[in-house]
Amino acid sequence: MSTQADFAAALLDPQRVCPSGLFSANGADPASRFAVYRNNVQSSLINALADSYPVVLQLVAEEFFRAMARLYIQQFPPQGPLINDYGNDFADFIEGFAPAASVPYLADIARLERLRVQAYHAADAQALSHEQIAAVLSSDSQAFGELHIQLHPSVSTLNSAYAVVALWAAHQDETLTNVDPSHGQSALILRNGLEVEVFAVDTGSTMFIRSLQGDWPLEQAVAYALDAAPEFDLSQCLALLISHNAITHLQRQDKVSP
């Protein structure tokens, strides 16, 4: 192991001894100075995870969260310089973390919170106005099925076997009344202006949105949505996307708007 790699590994693992070759300019014990530095590094990473996953923290309480996060950073140290990107796979870690098994929906709550972080930092894109969308949708009804709809970069979806939207929303006002965690939900996450919004939608809507993101034309996207959920309501789903400024381009054959 290189000196740099040894130093980095010791920073994240409290069981490792202070790397050899270190010295302090003021004559202080290098091991004690390194211990302080290691504690600051680990605390900053744990705090970053707590900022990204506030509902996960609330669900398990701070002591459990910090212990879990400490194990996570030992196994998955940062791979890049952006602290906002750290913890992308925290939900997968939670899913395999045996002590968290008593909260079976914890990993999906973490997935929802990560999608919110990603939505907040997603690229900007100008949404079409309601008038622009209405003009395109009404201009040629025969070509309606061939329409390609491009969504805002912040848009994402999540299907869960648990009531992730209700649980997340309940923790925004710290009430958990009448929430059945075992009731599966699907989520739509997007950034509307500067506000990240979360909506409970049906599985047909998530399939429809994912199909649009896969560049399928409207007709095919609707077919996939109806296969996933026969009760899928196209008008309702489009109204939700339009009203929250999630549509950025409409393309019909060789015509593009705007």
CATH number of the domain that residue 160 is part of: 3.90.930
Distance of alpha carbon 91 from alpha carbon 115, whole angstroms: 11
Phi-psi region of 87 (alpha: psi -120 to 50; beta: other; left: phi over 0): left
Instruction: Indicate the residue among 52, 73, 103 that finishes a domain.
Output: 103
Same domain, 90 and 143: no
Torsion angle (degrees, nearest 10) of CA 211, 91, 106, 194:
-60
H helix runs in the chain, sequence order: 3-12, 30-52, 54-60, 62-75, 90-95, 106-121, 130-139, 164-170, 203-213, 218-228, 234-243
Q: Is residue 114 part of a domain?
A: no
Query: Which H or E run contains 257?
Result: strand 255-257
Q: Is residue 64 part of a domain?
A: yes
CB-CB neighbours of 224 under 10 Å? 17
The residues near 176 (Cβ < 8 Å, ≥ 6 apart) are: 167, 170
Same domain, 237 and 150: yes
Same domain, 223 and 160: yes
CB-CB neighbours of 208 under 10 Å? 30
Whole-Å CA distances, 149 to 60, 165, 248: 40, 25, 8
Same domain, 86 and 140: no
Q: How many residues does the chain have?
A: 258
- Per-residue pLDDT tens, the chain, 258 aa: give them: 457 666 666 666 666 666 665 666 665 666 666 666 566 778 889 999 999 999 999 999 999 999 999 999 989 988 888 888 899 999 999 999 999 999 999 999 999 999 999 999 999 999 999 999 988 877 766 677 889 999 999 999 999 999 999 999 998 875 556 788 999 999 999 999 999 999 999 999 999 999 999 999 999 999 999 999 999 999 999 999 999 999 999 987 555 445
Q: Is residue 198 part of a domain?
A: yes
Q: Is residue 214 part of a domain?
A: yes
Instruction: Indicate the residue among 103, 138, 171 that finishes a domain.
Output: 103
Same domain, 140 and 232: yes
Provide the domain limits for residue 98: 1-103
Angle at 204 between CA 216 and CA 125, to 5 degrees: 55
Same domain, 148 and 245: yes
Q: Is residue 130 part of a domain?
A: yes
Same domain, 17 and 81: yes
Q: Is residue 111 part of a domain?
A: no
Same domain, 140 and 64: no
Answer for the pair 106, 90: CB distance below 8 angstroms, yes or no: no
Q: Is residue 116 part of a domain?
A: no
**What's the structural domain count of the chain?**
2
Same domain, 74 and 142: no
Phi-psi region of 215 (alpha: psi -120 to 50; beta: other; left: phi over 0): left
Q: Is residue 88 part of a domain?
A: yes
